Amino acid sequence: MDSETLKNFLVVAREGNITRAAQFIHITQPTLSRQMQNLEQELGRPLLIRGKRHLSLTPEGQLFRKRAEEILELFQKTRSEIHTSSEIAGAIYMGAGETDVIRQISQVASQFAQLHPQLRFHIRSGDGEAVREMLEKGLVDFGLVYGPSDPGKYKVVPLTPVDRWGFLLPRTHPLALYPELTPEQVHDQPLILSRQAMLTGIPQEWLGRDLDHLHIAGTYTLLTNGAKMVAGGLGLAMGLDGLINTSGSPLCFRPCSPPLLDTMSLIWKRGQLFTPAVQGFLDLLLQNFGKTE
């Protein structure tokens, strides 16, 4: 198995047809078919369900597609790091959830890029669990996460900007008349909650009720989807301020009262060896956001 085989498999998976995939890759159809068969023999599992006109992936094929994408991305990242190992150039990869802190991070990145114009910054989105998984696999250099992180595995930089929790709701909703919302006002409302926040207990603690005693109309991973659920009339979405632009929107944001605040941390693996580009960016972040815990 080599990188060319992985790339060709991804083209086959995308096209769903050996002939079209072969035309795209510029090889013959029999050659590509034989390559896919050899791959399946090497893995010892069928990856493709072959129909008369269309191919689909077996469960093993779906898993292999995900892993092939990760392997190729890690290969590209490693090649870039080796190529630029002695200079401030290349790419910096960060995993992050939804947060307005990205604006502050981008300001620091802009300063750094002005000094080193050959740099490129890449952000991969995901919740805390997904970001930590990306770190473990080496797909990102840093992660932005909420909540505690294992100090034995990660170094942590709590970021000084503080995020404020509140509710997205239609401007026509009776509660939109209030500048802030209390737990008592939303106890009996249909709520749309963050799955990650529910796992950490943030909404339950502020609302003073466990999940069984709340009217949970839906959950979200990305607040952009939560906002669409609100717009569709499903309920009120509890989320962080600054993520959804409500200017000129039929939705509005009302902060929690008493205030519910959250701090995002920058984390990276202990013992991680960085390229000069990544280390330089890390040093600049530390200057702006404080010391490691």
CA-nearest of 274, 283, 265 to 155 is 265
Of the CATH numbers 3.20.20.70, 3.30.360.10, 3.40.50.300, 3.40.190.10, which one belongs to the domain with range 163-261? 3.40.190.10
Per-domain residue ranges for the chain? Answer: 3-78, 88-160+263-289, 163-261
DSSP annotation of 177: G
Q: In degrees rounded to 5, what are phi and psi of residue 17? A: -160, 125
**Which pLDDT score is estimated for 158?**
84
Quote the pLDDT of residue 49: 93
- The number of beta carbons lying within 10 Å of the beta carbon of residue 30 is 10
Fold annotation for 3-78: Arc Repressor Mutant, subunit A (1.10.10)
In this predicted structure, what is the pLDDT of residue 91? 86
pLDDT of res. 182: 98
Q: Give the DSSP letter of residue 250.
A: S
Chunk the chain into consecutive blocks of 10 residues (it has 293) and report each block's average pLDDT, rounded to whole numbers: 88 91 90 93 92 89 91 78 60 86 86 86 87 90 86 86 92 97 96 91 94 94 94 96 92 97 89 85 80 49
Cα 212 from chain centroid (whole Å): 29
88-160+263-289 matches 3-78 in CATH topology: no
pLDDT at 81: 62
Predicted local distance difference test score (pLDDT) of residue 82: 64
Candidate CATH numbers 3.40.640.10, 3.40.50.11540, 2.120.10.30, 3.40.190.10; the one for domain 88-160+263-289: 3.40.190.10
